[in-house]
Structure 1
Amino acid sequence: MTRDTDGVQYHVDGELLPREEATVPVEDRGFRYGDAAFETMRAYGGEVFEWNRHAARLARTCETLGMPGAVPGDLPLRVAETLDTNDLADARVRISITRGVQPGTLTPQEEVDPTVVVTVEALPRGGLDGEDVWDGPAVVQSVRTRRVPDASLPADAKTHNYLNGVLARLELRRAANDSYRPDEALLRDVEGRVAEGATSNLFFVADGTLRTPEAGDLFPGVTREVVLELAEDEPFPVETGAYDLDDVRDADEAFLTSSTWEVRPIESIDGIAVGGGPITELLRRLYDERVEERCY
């Protein structure tokens, strides 16, 4: 997808600025240490989908990082202004809140003057009349990089520390060749059980049951929560548990979820064909219906 950034404006610390002027100081702890919280969400028809969940998670992450007052009270207005100024109704919206500029020591100061940034990027219309942002079903490759356990870094905190996912995606580059180009990495936990994609959650269908790795060492995505809610009212069983790679490779259907991708079928895992299916397509439609109902 070609992205035109001419004339784009971002929101930085309460001020709308042209993209080329929207910068943060090199002393900012978000740059120095990844000491920051963020959320990525989608706006449909000018409305941020599942705003309350994203805002609550952003606040929880800030609390985990020891800066509970960092979320500004006018954050919804800043998001709306950024969308309006860029004349965007359908977009990816990212909010970053760092601890701000502090002396160059690892120990953070108690007083926080946070840096708050809102960026937006145009996406196609979603909902029932929308189009997918991805080019096709996902080609997934399991990687050696393991998901950092919750005991080391809180799994439910969405921070700028994404090195784990970066390393996983670098493995995809090494695995690629002229005929094989995986576009999502599947991480396992330290015990070898499947956990999640580098930027997505995993679902699969086996023996008519919708399955997804249980919460613990995986990031509990907002789209994952929505899909589990949608599945509650359907006749097929839903299960969360611990699974190995063979469980997913042998699945009847599989898909990934994220705010940007929504519900994306998996074409193959480690070169083994999986594909979507009736449950995947049903949940895709139900998700589109919820977006349509709440945002358009």
Structure 2
Amino acid sequence: MQYYNQNTLVYLNDEFVKANQAGVDLFGQSLHYGYGAFEGLRAYNTHNGTRIFKAEAHFERLRKSCEALRLPYTWDNRTLIEKTYELLEANNLRAAYIRPLVFSGSNMHLTSSDQANIMIAAWEWGPYLGQNLLRVNISSIERPNAKSFPIEAKASGQYINSILATSDAQRHGFDEALLLDQEGFVAQASSENIFIEKDFKIFTPPLENVFPGITRQTVINICKELGFDIIEKKLTVQDIYTADSAFLSGTAAEIIGIKQVDHVTYKEEWEHSIGASIQRKYKNLVLEQENYEVII
């Protein structure tokens, strides 16, 4: 897809500039080594106007990611949020995906950078994985070891792992991949967290080896609000195969159900699952629709 045209503006180091004129530092560590941090946010066209869902939480996580990577973070988050709303208005966007990126200055050494830049872009983007139920495979590619990398950081270079896993899944006819950790437990999808339903309870892996998704936490909060049991525990591949249903969560993907994992097709109709109720509640939440109906 085309993410920008000749009129699209991005926010770059305190200025709004045309995307096709922003330029790239060919000697930056971000380009050569993947040394950078990014975020993903969504703006929704609500009855209260354009609203960015959990903007404060996302920009705070960006700050913490930079801190974990020892990238300078000199910006005020409140100002960045204001500039993001200005960016949406400048590009005439009411609903959009938003991508802030912190990238380093010129440095060919394998040392922490003392310079950093920030770019914020936005474009119209539907649910990242579409709206149909997913076919997922268990990947042969593992989730990075928590002792070798700050996996709680949304770091650019780490997503090579995700690209390889997703590309391999699609080559084998699947939509997305599930990654195991170094102990063989299910961690997460390439860029989403996983939840399964079993015996009217919801289970999800603990944070030990998974990314601390903001949407993941939102799902946990929704479960508690709706009175569903939500349990964090290590999940085996067999747990995934024998679940009643399953779904993924993420800012880009939102909430999306899984139809099949490897050779196993879930028998429970998605529309009748707890996950579908959570999906409806999440949609009402991001659209700021207070009068919602949840059908079990």
Fold shared, TM-score > 0.5 on shorter chain: yes
Deviation of the 1:72 alpha carbon: 4.4
Secondary structure, in 3 states, of the residue corresponding to 1:52?
Answer: helix
Q: 1:245-284 alignment to 2 at 5 Å?
A: 245-274=237-266, 276=270, 277-284=272-279
Secondary structure, in 3 states, of the residue corresponding to 2:220?
Answer: helix
Tell me if 1:143 matches 2:139: yes
Tell me if 1:17 matches 2:17: yes
Map of 2:85 onto structure 1? 80
Q: Distance in 1 between matches of 2:128 and 2:75?
A: 31
Map of 1:211 onto structure 2? 203
Map of 1:183 onto structure 2? 175
Secondary structure, in 3 states, of the residue corresponding to 1:233?
Answer: helix
Map of 1:41 onto structure 2? 41
Q: Is the 8 A contact 1:70 1:97 kept in 2?
A: no
Mark the runs of 5 or more structure 1 residues left unpaired by the alignment. 125-130, 176-180
Query: Aligned match of 2:190 in 178, 184, 198?
Result: 198
Judged with a 3 Å threshold, the aligned counterparts in structure 2 of structure 1 residues 113 and 68 are, in CA distance, closer, same or farther, namely: closer
Deviation of the 1:69 alpha carbon: 3.1
Q: Distance in 2 between matches of 1:93 and 1:273?
A: 34
Q: Distance in 2 between matches of 1:281 and 1:232?
A: 15
Deviation of the 1:225 alpha carbon: 0.4
Judged with a 3 Å threshold, the aligned counterparts in structure 2 of structure 1 residues 170 and 133 are, in CA distance, closer, same or farther, namely: closer
Q: Is the 8 A contact 1:210 1:237 kept in 2?
A: yes
Map of 1:50 onto structure 2? 54
Judged with a 3 Å threshold, the aligned counterparts in structure 2 of structure 1 residues 44 and 54 are, in CA distance, closer, same or farther, namely: same
Q: Distance in 1 between matches of 2:16 and 2:264?
A: 48
- Counterpart AA for 1:24: V
TM-score normalized by structure 2?
Answer: 0.88
Query: Aligned match of 1:224 in 195, 201, 216?
Result: 216
Map of 1:94 onto structure 2? 99
Q: Distance in 2 between matches of 1:158 and 1:294?
A: 30
Map of 1:66 onto structure 2? 70
Secondary structure, in 3 states, of the residue corresponding to 1:153?
Answer: coil
Query: Aligned match of 1:165 in 162, 165, 174?
Result: 162
Deviation of the 1:236 alpha carbon: 2.7
Deviation of the 1:121 alpha carbon: 1.1
Q: Is the 8 A contact 1:71 1:97 kept in 2?
A: no
Q: Is the 8 A contact 2:43 2:53 kept in 1?
A: yes
Deviation of the 1:238 alpha carbon: 1.1
Map of 1:178 onto structure 2? none
Map of 1:127 onto structure 2? none
Total equivalences in the alignment: 280
Q: Distance in 1 between matches of 2:43 and 2:228?
A: 30
The range that moved more, 44-53 or 3-12, is: 3-12
Judged with a 3 Å threshold, the aligned counterparts in structure 2 of structure 1 residues 262 and 29 are, in CA distance, closer, same or farther, namely: same
Q: Deviations over 1:25-48 (max 9, x none)?
A: 111221121111100110112221
